[in-house]
Amino acid sequence: MAKVSELLAAGRTYSFEFFPPRDPTEHARLVETLLELQPLRPSFVSVTYRGGPSSRDPTHELVVGMLRTTSLTPMAHLICAGHTRLELADILVQLRKAGVQNLMALGGDTPTDPGAPDGELAHAVELVELARAIGGFSIGVAAHPAGHPRSVDLRSDRDHLAAKMRLADFAITQFFWRVEEYLSLVDDLRRRGVTAPVIPGIMPLTTLAAVPRRAQMGAPVPADVVAQLEAAGDPASVRAAGIEMSTKLCQGLLDAGAPGLHFYTLNRSPATREIYTNLGLGPSAR
């Protein structure tokens, strides 16, 4: 299995993100999505971590299952919240024993599991340090073009991000809506002496109902984007307009020199596959 840092050094990466299924219905949907996306030969795929004991086993099982039964290169997410330092060290050791070499180190939200602790490590940079001590990982961290929702201000957020990235190998951004947001983030990091790759995260917006949820996730949809979707009319036209906007965003990012694209799939494949087709990507892009 390749390390993400090695893949980035070799050229652009195209990657997908999934979450562990909660029930048989979600499991069946994920299996179908993986079968549909695997022919696109993504550079790597990442698996989220909800936090607490309820997420530990599903994330581990999904990542290791991908490693053993598919041609995909998986990356495991891990969060500080809800774990002691010893628990995190044990999770990292178990991942390495299973052959997992790629890690996304996150602060995370306090888990909802009854009795779950807040966690011993306060910030993702501490998890990066712990993973480095364990050894053998290519480590990514999260970057927020608009700033982390819990940050005091954008300047301090970028300072903290730069500190993380000096220890990590790469970053993947929260989704955003304009190429300029990404370029501003990268420029800010370069001024702070950080040159590690920053992969833009893409989440296609295909329904108006999703607009409030995007704001809750820390990336409010600009009013003019909402207006374009509203003007499209019926749901099918709204979806087509959202796919077109995402395609233009991706092309703009590639034209601006982004090191790759990371798609938040929500365990569904149609939107990602359509954008791939629009961009002319696929196996020939490798």
Instruction: Give the DSSP per-residue string, 56-115.
Output: HHHHHHHHHHHHHHSS--EEEEEESTT--HHHHHHHHHHHHHTT--EEEEE--PPP-STT
Query: Side chain identity at 50, as an amino acid letter?
Result: R
17 is catalytic: yes
The pTM score is: 0.93
Mean pLDDT for 124-145 is 97
- Predicted confidence band of residue 285 (pLDDT cuts 50, 70, 90): very low
Domains of the chain listed by start with CATH number: 4-285 (3.20.20.220)
Q: How confident is the model at residue 187 (pLDDT cuts 50, 70, 90)?
A: very high
Find residue 171's DSSP bridge partners. 141, 198
Give 286's pLDDT tier (boundaries 50, 70, 90). Answer: very low
**pLDDT tens readout for residues 32-43:** 998 899 899 999
Q: Which residue has the higher pLDDT, 108 or 262?
A: 262
Task: Report the b/e string of 166-196 with b at 16+ CB within 10 A.
Answer: ebbbbbbbbbbbebebbbbbbebbeeeebeb
User: Chain-wide mean pLDDT for the chain?
Assistant: 91
Q: One of 6, 17, 120, 181 is an active-site residue; which one?
A: 17
Mean pLDDT, rounded, for 146-175: 94
Query: Model confidence at 282, in pLDDT bands (50, 70, 90)?
Result: low
More confident residue, 118 or 100: 100
**What's the pLDDT score for residue 113?**
63
